[in-house]
Structure 1
């Protein structure tokens, strides 16, 4: 699937224009990975050795550039998710899905931000997030129907886990880069059906979850 926010016309770019575009994407991948989705576009242009106007000619909005930069990461995640859904054992598929999700999340702060937020008004990001949501539900419902995952887990609980894991990655990525795996497996024990206890609060509604993901863009 094509996830990039910029669909180029059938006429190919001149070689020099293509080289500038490639440099911009490479610089954006480095900068978004290090600093997240709010990274400086001016710095990206400078690192790519182009004027900021050139950046905007190739990528009219920040989201256009972000999607082009994140395309390999998002595709890596989506491919791993499809593999998890093909695992025969529902619990192992659930574990594989989450481990793939957090492994990719841990390697790129920009992807971490992208997972955690919603960007209303951008059809490409909404389409990708909707696909991710369907995958979460598919792998979760399969494990619940098999009786191995507790029945009261919702998609919102998985997004809550993405948020908490993101903070852990921020705190430990330099000193203990694989600490997220311990946290994940502790949580997986809590998600097993045989360990379920009544919860004191209901899950977030779909509207509450969406609004919370949008709110992260204003904090």
Structure 2
């Protein structure tokens, strides 16, 4: 039998097991990411790796095989959400009216967070570590600060408002997870309206 044909036959014979192993590995990875995202949101990025493994239902060795370092896990958990956050903030910055841009930057994540809980966690979760996520978050906060300052300069935002207040408005969206899923969309819009009203100067 030709060597290549023999190789193909072996690969075809092994394929079901290989597929099962790949499926198991992906399942472990997904459970680790889900557990880490929840613990990071609840306790910050210093949450213990062993606790993450326990919450995910895997052994520490499995966790470290997928994510050799804590920073690798942090970067993986929040990378997609931070990219989405950046797109939202950049869109807000493109608006010629800073207040309307800030309105979008606050409203969009709150509404999306009704179905994508990790979106707000990505920007709200702090870390004193280095890495792609930490740097990405610093850039987002700087962009938010610039947009907030522009809106304040036009007196569309209260003079005492800081970037931390804007982030606080986003963090409030975490509470939407306690609401019945059928009502979250309406609740998210109401929450966004209340947060925006709180940021505006009172006459």
What TM-score, normalized by structure 2, do the two folds share? 0.68
Distance in 1 (CA, whole Å) between partners of 2:119 and 2:104 is 19
- In structure 1, stretches of 5+ residues that fail to align are 1-14, 197-219
**Aligned position for 1:41:** 53
Contact preservation (8 Å) 1:80, 1:97: yes
* 1:75 maps to 2:79: no
1:73-105 superposed Cα distances (whole Å, 9 cap, x missing partner): 211111111111101222211111112232344
Match of 2:126 among 118, 123, 126: 118
Match of 1:159 among 154, 167, 171: 167
Normalized per residue, the structure richer in helix is 2
Contact preservation (8 Å) 2:89, 2:143: yes
Distance in 1 (CA, whole Å) between partners of 2:54 and 2:71 is 15
Shift of 1:132: 1.9
**Aligned position for 2:12:** none
Shift of 1:56: 0.5
Distance in 1 (CA, whole Å) between partners of 2:103 and 2:65 is 43
Quickly say closer, same or farther: Cα 1:137–1:173, change in 2 above 3 A: farther
- In structure 2, stretches of 5+ residues that fail to align are 1-17, 41-46
**Aligned position for 1:26:** 30
Contact preservation (8 Å) 2:82, 2:123: no
SS in 2 for 1:177: helix
What TM-score, normalized by structure 1, do the two folds share? 0.64
Distance in 2 (CA, whole Å) between partners of 1:94 and 1:78 is 13
SS in 1 for 2:184: coil
Distance in 2 (CA, whole Å) between partners of 1:185 and 1:101 is 13
SS in 1 for 2:183: coil
Root-mean-square deviation (CA), in Å?
Answer: 3.2
Distance in 1 (CA, whole Å) between partners of 2:123 and 2:180 is 17
If you compute each CA radius of gyration, which structure gives the higher value, 1 or 2? 2
SS in 2 for 1:78: helix
**Aligned position for 2:177:** 170
Match of 2:98 among 90, 94, 97: 90
Shift of 1:65: 1.9
**Aligned position for 1:58:** 66
Match of 2:197 among 183, 189, 192: 189
